[in-house]
Every structure is written in C-alpha cells, then in structure tokens.
C-alpha cells in the first residue's frame, strides 16, 4: 500500500517507546504529561453527566453544531471573561476535541507545504509533528527561564516570514517557564508590527501555585492596539478537570474561526455532545473554583518537594528554574564533578534504578539540547517524589 508523502515527515516519538517501559513493576514515573487521576472531581462529573442526560437528553445524545454545544460555549466564554478576557462572547470560540484538535485545525486551515512555523525550542512534541503533517517547516526560537527570547523571536520572524508563531507562554510543556508581562506585551507588538498570527496554547495557565500568572496573551491583546486580530487561543479542560472528556476550545479572529469550523466539519463533525453537555453542567454548577484551588495546592506541594529533593540529591549536577505552576520541571545536566551530562543515557540508567523521566532532546524541532530533561511531579505523591529523586541521583552517580 502506498501512503501519503506527508507521513515521511513524522515518526512515532521516542517518548512513546519509552512509555512502553513504564509498566515495569515498582517504577516511579516522572515521565508522564498528564494530570493525577486521583484528583479528578468524579462526584462533580457524575452529577454533571446525570444532569446532562436528565435535562436535555435529546440534545446531549444527538448530532450537534460543528461550532460546539451552545450552553458550553457560553460557559467557556464566561470562564475566559473571569480570567480577564473582556471582549469574548460565545460566538468567538469553537469547541474542539481536546486542544490537540485546535492545533490540528490550525495546521489544516493555515499551513501549505513549505510554510514556516516558529515554535519554542523546546516545545510540545505533538505540536511539532502535527504541523509537520501539513508540510510545515518548524523553526525553533530559543527560550530561557522566562520563556521565549523575544529579541531572537523577532529576528526569526524577519528571517523566515512564518505562517504563525506557536507559544505556550504559561508554564510551558516541557519548559515549565512563565513568560513575563513585559515579554508578553512585546510578543503582541511583534504580531502587529509583522502582521503575523500568534497561537497561544494555554492548558496550564490555571495551575499556578502562588501568585496568578500575568494575563494570557488573549487577555492582554485588548490593551495592545491591533493585536487581537493576530491572536488565536487554544484552551483545554484536560489538565484542570479531565482529559478524558476531550473538551478544548479555539478562540480566534472570526475569519480564521469560520475556516477552522469548516475544516472541523470534515474532521469529526463535532465534539462529543455528551462530553460537552457534561462539561457545561459542571461549569454551570460552579464547582470549578474549588477544583482549581485543590489541584493548585497539591501540585504546588509536589513541585516544592521535587525542587528541594533535586537540589539536595543532585546538587550542582543539575540546573533548573523552579516552576511557578504547571506540571513540569525542565532541567539541564551540567556535567559538574564529571557526572553524566547526556540525558538519554541517564534515562536508560534511571529505568534500571526504578525511576523514569523523559529526555529533553525530542522536544526540540531543531538543535536538540542533549543535556536537557523533563520531570513531571504531577502523578507522584510526596514520598514517591523523594524516593524517585534519590534513585535519579543513584543513576547519575
């Protein structure tokens, strides 16, 4: 059978191969990219799904509009308004099958083979592959502890004239980095100056541990003249409520949103109305603030515990910025004291010691940093985190 040439551009990731090893008994995993299922508000979702089938069973189980289930679109618009996006109404967003589908629709809608797309180096792996499947040449803009380096970003925009720029400005995957307020303004100014679309992926913005992060690019765009026309925002309930619902959304300028909707019509017709009606009932019930407060507290404890353990057990052999939210530590092996500086080799040794993490190199579209690694603290308890970091130290020794 002859497959399409676009498949030659992507591969099943090295990370997927690693995940096959995680079934090993007794292994402590810092490798995942998912939230802790022990924190799902099962009771709240059970009640929400019950109400969805009690109040409007026909609508919850029937075909629905490609744009999404109206009561959910209204709740999501209110959710964004509560986070500082003043000018948003339900017609300004469409519901997607997870935010992964929002990325896919942006690729389908915007990318011609050979088009350039700028992403952070490192960025979310599935994004790189998703855009490459539409023929994009993916360019990396370097980051530091405060997110993307805006000076370098502008140079790359001028050099490559990209179709769009994809950023995870708030507690990025895998970087964990938080783009500062001043850099956010500059990104929006760049968008206007160079007339280039900025895609803001924001699955982690609600998962802050202490102070709330700066406003999203979408929220901030209202105070940077002209920039709202150049922002597409991908949101998701996956990290804060439940990935299994597959409910995300795309807010974008109307012309782009209309075309993404047309593409969605031929991708999956619409997102599960049953899942959408359940999510709508959940948001309407007002349980989200308490759920968010809970997950912020637990993830915050885990992040502090992991940071302290890493400093204590690995010392100057590892360097990282303590994350202020999200699910990830992004660290670099320094090689200090002649210790191992190759994260892939460490990952192999670590499996032998009974701890797993993901080496950082695959997260780079170009110029991989082989000393980088990603550690998730999301699904391990405090004692597991302490023990896992000790194992990591043994693997490094």
List the interface residues with its own copies, window 139-198 (CB under 8 A). 163, 197
Which window, 128-136, 170-178, 364-372, 382-390, contacts its own copies (CB under 8 A)? 128-136
Residue matched to tokens 């956010």: 184
Q: Which of 49, 123, 173, 376 binds its own copies (CB under 8 A)?
A: 49
- Answer yes or no whether residue 37 interacts with its own copies by CB under 8 A: yes
Residue 263 as a binder of its own copies (CB under 8 A): the answer is yes
When binding is defined by CB under 8 A, the residue of 46, 87, 294, 348 that contacts its own copies is 46
- Report the Cα 188 to chain-centroid distance in Å: 20
Site for its own copies in 9-28 (CB under 8 A): 10, 12
Q: Residue 353 Cβ, how far from its own copies at the closest point, in Å?
A: 26
Our CB check for its own copies shows the closer of 224 and 256 to be 256
Task: Report which of 246, 244, 245, 238 is spatially closest to residue 295, judged by C-alpha positions.
Answer: 238
305 near its own copies (CB under 8 A): no
**Nearer residue to its own copies within complex by CB, 34 or 335:** 34
Q: Please report whether residue 8 would count as binding its own copies according to CB under 8 A.
A: no
6 touching its own copies, by CB under 8 A: yes
Nearer to its own copies, 49 or 173 (CB): 49
Which span (52-60, 209-217, 337-345, 357-365) binds its own copies, by CB under 8 A? 52-60
Kind and range of the H or E run holding 312:
helix 288-314
Q: What is the Cα–Cα distance from 266 to 384, expressed in whole angstroms?
A: 45
Is residue 238 within the footprint of its own copies (CB under 8 A)?
Answer: yes
Tell me whether residue 83 is exposed, middle or buried, using C-beta atoms within 10 angstroms of its C-beta: 0 to 12, 13 to 18, 19 or more.
Answer: middle
The CA radius of gyration of the chain, in Å to the nearest whole number, is 21
The Cα–Cα gap between 125 and 318 comes to 23
Rounded alpha-carbon distances, angstroms, from residue 261 to 120, 127, 264, 272, 280: 27, 19, 5, 15, 20
Q: Return the residue of 14, 15, 27, 61 that touches its own copies, per CB under 8 A.
A: 61
Q: How far is the CB of 165 from its own copies (least distance, A)?
A: 13
Contact between 360 and its own copies by CB under 8 A: the answer reads no
The stretch among 256-264, 300-308, 323-331, 365-373 that binds its own copies (CB under 8 A) is: 256-264
Tell which one of 23, 25, 58, 289 touches its own copies (CB under 8 A).
Answer: 58
Q: Which of 14, 15, 21, 53 binds its own copies (CB under 8 A)?
A: 53
Q: Is 266 in the site for its own copies (CB under 8 A)?
A: yes
249-264 b/e with 16+ CB inside 10 Å = b?
A: bbbbeeebbebbbebb
Are 255 and 47 a contacting pair, CB within 8 Å?
Answer: no
- Residue 348 binds to its own copies (criterion: CB under 8 A): no
d(CA 123, CA 128): 8
Site mask for its own copies (CB under 8 A), range 96-125, x = bound? xxx-xx-xx---xxxxx--x----------
Residue 325 DSSP one-character state: B
205/178 Cα distance (integer angstroms): 9
Residue from 1, 26, 86, 367 in contact with its own copies (CB under 8 A): 1
The beta strands (E) that lie in the chain are given as 28-29, 93-97, 116-121, 137-144, 147-148, 164-167, 197-201, 231-236, 247-251, 318-320, 328-333, 355-356, 358-359, 372-376
């Amino acid at each position: 059978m002859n497959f399409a040439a676009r498949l030659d551009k992507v591969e099943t990731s090295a990370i997927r191969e690693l995940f096959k090893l995680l079934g090993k008994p007794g292994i402590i995993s810092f490798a995942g990219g998912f939230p802790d299922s022990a924190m799902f508000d099962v009771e709240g979702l059970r009640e929400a799904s019950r109400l969805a089938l009690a109040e409007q069973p026909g609508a919850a189980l029937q075909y629905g509009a490609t744009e999404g289930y109206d009561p959910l679109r209204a709740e999501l618009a209110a959710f964004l308004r509560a986070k500082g996006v003043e000018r948003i109404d339900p017609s300004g967003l469409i519901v997607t099958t997870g935010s992964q589908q929002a990325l896919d629709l942006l690729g389908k809608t915007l990318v011609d083979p050979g088009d350039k797309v700028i992403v952070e180096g490192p960025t979310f792996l599935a994004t790189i592959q998703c855009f490459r499947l539409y023929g994009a040449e993916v360019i990396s803009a370097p980051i530091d502890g405060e997110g993307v380096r805006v000076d370098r970003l502008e140079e790359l925009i001028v050099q490559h004239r990209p179709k769009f720029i994809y950023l995870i400005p708030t507690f990025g995957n895998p970087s964990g980095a938080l783009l500062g307020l001043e850099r956010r303004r500059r990104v929006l100014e760049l968008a206007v100056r160079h007339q280039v679309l900025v895609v803001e992926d924001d699955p982690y913005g609600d998962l802050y541990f202490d102070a709330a992060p700066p406003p999203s690019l979408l929220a901030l765009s209202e105070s940077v003249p002209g920039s709202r026309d150049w922002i597409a925002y991908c949101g998701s309930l996956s990290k804060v409520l439940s990935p299994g619902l597959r409910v995300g959304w795309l807010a974008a300028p109307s012309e782009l949103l209309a075309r993404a909707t047309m593409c969605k019509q031929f991708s999956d017709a619409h997102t599960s109305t049953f899942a959408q009606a359940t999510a709508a009932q959940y948001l309407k019930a007002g349980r989200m603030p308490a759920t968010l407060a809970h997950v912020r507290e637990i993830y915050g404890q885990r992040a502090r515990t992991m940071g302290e353990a890493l400093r204590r057990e690995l010392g100057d052999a590892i360097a990282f910025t303590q994350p202020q939210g999200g699910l990830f530590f992004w660290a670099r092996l320094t090689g200090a004291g002649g210790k191992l500086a190759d994260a892939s080799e460490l990952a192999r040794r670590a499996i032998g010691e009974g701890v797993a993490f993901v080496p950082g190199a695959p997260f780079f579209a170009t110029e991989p940093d082989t000393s980088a690694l990603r550690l998730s603290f999301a699904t391990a308890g405090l004692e597991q985190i302490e023990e896992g970091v000790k194992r990591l130290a043994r693997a490094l020794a």
